[in-house]
Structure 1
Amino acid sequence: MTVIDVALKDHSYQVHIERGLLNEAGHQVKAQWPKVGKVALISDDNVAPLYQQRVAEQLMQQGLTVCQYVVPAGEPSKSWPVVNDLVTKMIDDSFSRDDGVVALGGGVIGDLAGFVASVYMRGIAFIQIPTSLLAQVDSSVGGKTAIDVGAAKNMVGTFYQPDLVLIDPDTLDTLPERYLVEGYGEIVKTALLDSAEFWNLTEQVDSVVALLKLAPELSQRSIAYKAKVVMADEKEGGLRQVLNLGHTAGHAIELLSPTVMAHGEAVSIGLVKILRVFEAQGLEQENLSSQVIQRLQAVGLPTESELIGTPAFYETLQHDKKNRGGVLNLVYVSNPGEPHIYPIDSQTVKTFFEESCK
């Protein structure tokens, strides 16, 4: 089993990665929570039929009382009404400060369950069991929780670190292919940020089959890098901003898309766009964007969008939630393993993008 330590100033925890780890979930949770008596096991209606009962039975074998809660799959569940429903159920089931919440699912469940854990009685114990590639390589670690308000994604949230993260790559076998490969967008982003070694590893992912085969190592490397960044900057005051590589443009595309777009798909498009911008500025290794496109397209991820360059695209960029005092901190890499933050006046972002791509 691979173990990654996330050692923070006020709260430290471990990430465990191993095939078949889901079959040890009860033992792992009990070992982490020897005094917890009751668990809110939160999942969605895609994941619950596959894994919730199995995990619940293991928890009960360890002497824990388990309340199984299931929400509709998808981004709309990250909302006040769903939070209210879950909290009401937990009150009715007599949850106390000595009990805990386990998130079993992808990024939406991690965000939602983490937010519920952080606000219920001002915060109770929380464990992540991510079942999607996107959650396993990114969102389950770092402590960000959030819900959406209207069209404003992740606008209400907390920094609330889990007590433990359990990653079983075997859960990816039941993931629809589209939602498997979307996680690879975040992996390519992280490899660019981390090192030439990690970047070269992604060259081996020439198909979805190869992606599944390499999933444990890709998760380990991605989480190790993110843990290093989060330990240096837990609440995104500086270095952690590099994790937004590709996300500023990606969030705009995701928000404006007339059809449902997976987060990793939007990040893929945004990543290619920002690399092309800085490549044109001469600040980046030549042909890096072409290498990224090759890797993304190998598993079927999109790299273009008709939304890029539209007035709505630039308007959304200017009002990105990470806009601080009228400044957008764009992220680029001069070479794999060499990330940089590039501050720009949000009012001039349109001119900067257009002039870079003439």
Structure 2
Amino acid sequence: MKLNVNLGDKSYPIYIENKILDSASDYIADAFSGKKIMIFSDDNVYPLYGEALKRSLSGRFECHEFILPHGEATKAFKTLPAVYSALLDARLTRSDLIIALGGGVIGDLAGFAAATYMRGVNLIQIPTSLLAQVDSSVGGKVAVDLPQGKNLVGAFYQPCLVLIDPLVLNTLSPRFIKDGMGEVIKYGCIRDADLFHTLESHSSFEDLKEELPAIIYSCVDIKRKVVEHDQFDTGERMLLNFGHTLAHTIEQYHHYERESHGEAVAVGMYQITRLAQEQCLTAPGNADRILKLLKQYGLPYECGIPLSELTDTIELDKKNLNDRLNVVLLREIGNSYIHPATIDFFKRNLRTI
């Protein structure tokens, strides 16, 4: 299956296919005509897929690798000097290529390095987690975290190619399958009632496996359309952040050491819909449907943090434009909208969520 993200001279193809990693070098050679490649990966993913990818590319290119510790803590501003040093040691130039082989952390970090090293080098995303395959590898958002919040230093930088192999998910731990399902559920909530119903009609991720390439395609296609209309996240693209206003603060509260991103998104989607329902800003029953689906796929819906301890961080949210906090809400499942609010949206009921 193939999709094209149509952004003029920044357009690129996305391929979704079982076993596509086995022929990745052919796709990469079609997209890149330079000499050197730096593969960024982590210590979980590289032993599984990195060596084989490097071997397949080495006959055509001069290949280097830089392997980072896995986990959100790696995606920190303080990691960047080591990343840039690796690129300089390999003597990469603006005509060379960075490949991000990994989940969302590697995709974001390597993407930010590609956007900023020598003012921009070629980038290819090969996502190996469900969350990265359905969401973060597509659309060009790249970033690193600051102590004050997640993704506060970043850029919009499109890859020249995205390769998605659903079979690599067989090596993911059950927790990170659930993590990715948080983002899959998000897409059903914001734009695709049929996808939401499909998820409701299956009992578990294992039950979905035969339909997984089509589900990944559906999520990526939604993101593609939104990004084409709003590449720089000033309007419609903010819909993709449903649940994230709370999720990012939940992740930060425990220093990225407790909830994963998808788990925090799950909590955020339910809790923000619950708040919206209490304020008559979403259809009755939406929160209950989300709650039921989160339980069905083993995702959390509460985190035990008082809202009063999150409001300062919420006010730093990147969707806070012109002193208005733009909160993504649902009219109904599959139909989302941006609600201009203030921090009072969260302060009306300062309970533990």
Q: Normalising by the residue count of structure 1, what TM-score does the alignment of the two structures yield?
A: 0.93
Q: Shift in Å at residue 273 of structure 1?
A: 0.7
Q: Secondary structure at the match of 1:52?
A: helix
Where do 4+ consecutive residues of structure 1 move more than 4 Å? none
Closer, same or farther: CA 283–321 of 1 in aligned 2, 3 Å: closer
Aligned residue in 2 for 1:72: 69
After superposition, residues 123-202 of structure 1 pair within 5 angstroms as 123-202=120-199
Distance of 1:211 and 1:115 partners within structure 2:
33
Q: Secondary structure at the match of 1:146?
A: strand
Tell me which moved more, 258-267 or 238-247: 258-267
Letter in 1 for 2:136: S
Tell me which moved more, 46-55 or 272-281: 272-281
Closer, same or farther: CA 269–80 of 1 in aligned 2, 3 Å: closer
Aligned residue in 1 for 2:16: 17
Q: 1:236 aligns with which of 226, 229, 233?
A: 233
Distance of 1:91 and 1:299 partners within structure 2:
44
Letter in 2 for 1:17: I
Aligned residue in 1 for 2:27: 28
Distance of 1:204 and 1:49 partners within structure 2:
36
Q: Shift in Å at residue 263 of structure 1?
A: 0.3
Q: Shift in Å at residue 77 of structure 1?
A: 1.5
Closer, same or farther: CA 154–170 of 1 in aligned 2, 3 Å: same
Distance of 2:149 and 2:194 partners within structure 1:
37
Would the aligned equivalents of 1:148 and 1:154 in 2 still touch at CA under 8 Å? yes
Q: Identity, % of aligned pairs?
A: 38
Would the aligned equivalents of 1:205 and 1:295 in 2 still touch at CA under 8 Å? no
Aligned residue in 1 for 2:346: 350
Q: Shift in Å at residue 331 of structure 1?
A: 1.1
Would the aligned equivalents of 2:306 and 2:350 in 1 still touch at CA under 8 Å? no
Closer, same or farther: CA 142–131 of 1 in aligned 2, 3 Å: same
Q: Shift in Å at residue 285 of structure 1?
A: 2.8
Q: 2:206 aligns with which of 195, 203, 209?
A: 209
Q: Shift in Å at residue 83 of structure 1?
A: 1.9
Q: Shift in Å at residue 112 of structure 1?
A: 0.7
Q: Secondary structure at the match of 2:320?
A: coil
Distance of 2:238 and 2:55 partners within structure 1:
40
Would the aligned equivalents of 1:39 and 1:102 in 2 still touch at CA under 8 Å? yes
Q: Shift in Å at residue 205 of structure 1?
A: 3.5
Q: Secondary structure at the match of 1:319?
A: coil
Deviations 1:258-287 (A, max 9, x none): 742100000000100111122223332321
Q: Secondary structure at the match of 1:303?
A: coil
Deviations 1:21-65 (A, max 9, x none): 1101111100111x211110110001011000011111123x111
Would the aligned equivalents of 1:111 and 1:147 in 2 still touch at CA under 8 Å? yes
Q: Secondary structure at the match of 1:209?
A: helix
Q: Secondary structure at the match of 1:260?
A: coil
Q: 1:331 aligns with which of 325, 328, 331?
A: 328
Q: Shift in Å at residue 197 of structure 1?
A: 1.7
Deviations 1:116-163 (A, max 9, x none): 111111111100000000000000001011111224211111100000
Aligned residue in 2 for 1:47: 45
Tell me which moved more, 153-162 or 78-87: 78-87
Q: Normalising by the residue count of structure 2, what TM-score does the alignment of the two structures yield?
A: 0.95
After superposition, residues 276-355 of structure 1 pair within 5 angstroms as 276-309=274-307, 311-346=308-343, 348-353=344-349
Tell me which moved more, 84-93 or 179-188: 84-93
Would the aligned equivalents of 1:117 and 1:123 in 2 still touch at CA under 8 Å? yes
Q: Secondary structure at the match of 1:236?
A: coil
Q: Secondary structure at the match of 1:237?
A: coil
Q: Secondary structure at the match of 2:114?
A: helix
Q: Shift in Å at residue 298 of structure 1?
A: 1.4
Distance of 1:156 and 1:27 partners within structure 2:
34
Q: Provide the aligned length of Structure 1 versus Structure 2.
A: 351
Unaligned 5+ runs, structure 1? none
Distance of 2:79 and 2:217 partners within structure 1:
32
Q: Shift in Å at residue 326 of structure 1?
A: 2.3
Q: Shift in Å at residue 4 of structure 1?
A: 1.0
Confirm or deny that 1:84 pairs with 2:81.
yes
Letter in 2 for 1:260: R
**What do you get for the CA RMSD once the two structures are aligned?**
1.7
Unaligned 5+ runs, structure 2? none
Closer, same or farther: CA 149–317 of 1 in aligned 2, 3 Å: closer
Distance of 1:191 and 1:181 partners within structure 2:
15
Distance of 1:20 and 1:81 partners within structure 2:
35
Q: Shift in Å at residue 333 of structure 1?
A: 1.2
Q: Secondary structure at the match of 1:340?
A: strand
Letter in 2 for 1:129: I
Q: Shift in Å at residue 212 of structure 1?
A: 3.5
Tell me which moved more, 245-254 or 96-105: 245-254
Would the aligned equivalents of 1:204 and 1:210 in 2 still touch at CA under 8 Å? no
